[in-house]
């Protein structure tokens, strides 16, 4: 495996701190915004934006719905909790090296972040999940991790890191509890918030119906092209992780394939048939749902940030 040049951690931290007032230099919570979910910046007070192009080692996000800036500021009631939000993320399918994809999470840890909230837009595999539902991720299924594309492959980025990271408790039960409490306090309909397993695929192609069925049979509830690399790096850095998916589209057609054979035979026999047709998903649709339903996600995140106890 090829070595990746050392990332300039110290230079990045120095630049970031030089652009921030002292009160914002040590954020407690890091937030990673998924496709179309960068509106979270509206919940942050005293915002200071730090463009990625100013930070050594950062790439640019090339995906529509992702902005290339970190937002520092305060969130939640009272004095507020210092936070840093990544308004756009890096995906491996953009051509970024895996070390670059997870670099911002490592920078967050170095700035003092102890909890990270990772959001994404995802396709629904579980037919019980309707579009707009928010899923609290409690586990993941990462085929790339199991087939030689684990983001933590290669030399350790710090001698403090463990070589072997357990993932049985990757998604903090305490933070997950807080989201459900948040939903109650915000009087959300209980069906608006579910919990489930996220399948990570590399993208950039969306799933074929067979791939969707395969992932569903393997136990996944939603599928997306991000999050897991960030979760792994965050766990390696010792951060508590919470991850939320917004279901933007349905992947699996419950009744299976539209059978052209059945259709033709029925037509020849003079019968009318109405067979299921697969949804054709697009990134525009993903962004549209993010715009329409992202506010609930933002309110949940804001409530959780304001309620994280000192020692979780």
Ligand X SMILES: Nc1nc2[nH]cnc2c(=O)[nH]1
Residue 111 vs 225, nearer CB to ligand LQZ7MJT6: 225
The verdict on whether 283 is a catalytic residue reads yes
* Catalytic-role residue among 97, 138, 161, 283: 283
CA distance 22 to 34: 28
Identify whether the C-beta of residue 287 lies closer than 8 Å to the C-beta of residue 281: no
Is 294 among the residues that bind ligand LQZ7MJT6 (CB under 6 A)?
no
- Tell me which residue has its CB nearest to ligand LQZ7MJT6: 34
Give the three-class secondary structure for 19. coil
Number of helices (H), then strands (E), belonging to the chain: the values are 8, 9
Q: Which positions from 240 to 269 touch ligand X by CB under 6 A, shown as an x/- string?
A: --------xx-x------------------
* Catalytic-role residue among 61, 145, 226, 245: 226
Q: To the nearest whole angstrom, how small is the minimum distance from the Cβ of residue 44 to ligand X?
A: 25
Q: To the nearest whole angstrom, how small is the minimum distance from the Cβ of residue 242 to ligand X?
A: 19
In sequence order, which residues have a C-beta less than 8 Å from that of residue 145 and are 6 or more positions away? 151, 200, 228, 232
Is 286 among the residues that bind ligand LQZ7MJT6 (CB under 6 A)?
yes
Nearest residue to 29 (alpha-carbon basis) of 80, 79, 91, 103: 80
How many residues bind to ligand LQZ7MJT6 according to rule CB under 6 A? 13
Choose the stretch contacting ligand X; rule: CB under 6 A; options: 65-73, 140-148, 169-177, 218-226: 218-226
Identify whether the C-beta of residue 113 lies closer than 8 Å to the C-beta of residue 26: no
Q: Which positions from 182 to 221 touch ligand LQZ7MJT6 by CB under 6 A, shown as an x/- string?
A: ---------------------x------------------
Length of the chain: 312
Q: Where are the beta strands (DSSP E) in the chain?
A: 29-32, 45-51, 69-75, 81-86, 115-124, 134-142, 193-200, 222-224, 240-250
Nearest residue to 231 (alpha-carbon basis) of 145, 132, 148: 145
Identify whether the C-beta of residue 40 lies closer than 8 Å to the C-beta of residue 47: no
Q: What are the residue ranges of helices labelled H in 147-275?
A: 173-185, 209-217, 228-236, 260-268
Is 34 among the residues that bind ligand LQZ7MJT6 (CB under 6 A)?
yes
Tokens standing for 9? 């951690």
Among 103, 226, 230, 252, binds ligand LQZ7MJT6 (CB under 6 A): 226
Is 297 among the residues that bind ligand X (CB under 6 A)?
no
Q: Which positions from 104 to 133 touch ligand LQZ7MJT6 by CB under 6 A, shown as an x/- string?
A: ----------------xx------------
Residue 263 vs 279, nearer CB to ligand X: 279
* Catalytic-role residue among 12, 59, 66, 194: 66
Own/partner pairs, 282-285, CB within 8 angstroms, 24+ separation: 283/35, 283/63, 283/64, 283/65, 285/248, 285/249
Nearest residue to 121 (alpha-carbon basis) of 247, 25, 1, 31: 247
Is 86 among the residues that bind ligand X (CB under 6 A)?
no
CA distance 92 to 83: 25
Choose the stretch contacting ligand X; rule: CB under 6 A; options: 4-12, 52-60, 222-230, 232-240: 222-230
Is 215 among the residues that bind ligand X (CB under 6 A)?
no
* Catalytic-role residue among 86, 108, 121, 142: 121
Is 94 among the residues that bind ligand X (CB under 6 A)?
no
Q: Which stretch of DSSP H or E encloses residue 239?
A: none
Annotated binding site for a purine D-ribonucleoside: 207, 249
Choose the stretch contacting ligand X; rule: CB under 6 A; options: 46-54, 60-68, 119-127, 140-148: 119-127
The set of catalytic residues is 35, 66, 91, 93-94, 121, 225-226, 249, 283
């Amino acid at each position: 495996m090829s070595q990746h040049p050392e990332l300039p951690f110290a230079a990045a931290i120095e630049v970031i701190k030089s652009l921030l007032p002292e009160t914002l230099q040590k954020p407690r919570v890091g937030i990673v915004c998924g496709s179309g979910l960068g509106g979270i910046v509206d919940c942050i007070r005293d915002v200071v934006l730090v463009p990625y192009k100013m930070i050594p080692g950062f790439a640019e996000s090339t995906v529509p719905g992702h902005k290339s800036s970190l937002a520092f500021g305060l969130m939640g009631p009272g004095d507020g909790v210092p936070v840093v939000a990544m308004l756009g993320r890096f995906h491996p399918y953009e051509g970024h090296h895996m070390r670059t994809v997870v670099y911002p999470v490592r920078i967050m840890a170095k700035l003092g972040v102890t909890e990270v909230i990772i959001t994404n837009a995802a396709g629904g595999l579980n037919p019980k999940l309707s579009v707009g539902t928010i899923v609290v991720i409690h586990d993941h299924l990462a085929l790339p991790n199991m087939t030689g594309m684990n983001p933590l492959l290669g030399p350790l980025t710090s001698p403090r890191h463990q070589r072997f990271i357990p993932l049985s408790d990757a998604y903090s039960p305490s933070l997950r509890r807080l989201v459900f409490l948040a939903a109650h306090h915000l009087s959300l309909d209980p069906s608006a918030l579910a919990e489930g397993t996220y399948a990570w695929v590399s993208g950039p192609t969306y799933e074929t119906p067979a791939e969707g069925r395969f992932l569903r049979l393997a136990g996944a509830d939603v599928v997306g092209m991000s999050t897991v690399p960030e979760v792994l790096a965050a766990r390696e850095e010792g951060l508590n992780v919470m991850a939320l998916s917004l279901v933007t589209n349905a992947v699996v057609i419950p009744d299976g394939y539209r059978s052209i054979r059945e259709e033709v035979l029925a037509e020849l026999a003079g019968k009318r048939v109405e067979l299921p047709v697969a949804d054709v998903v697009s990134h525009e649709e993903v962004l549209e749902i993010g715009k329409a339903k992202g506010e609930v996600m933002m309110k949940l995140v804001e409530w959780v940030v304001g309620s994280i106890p000192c020692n979780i």
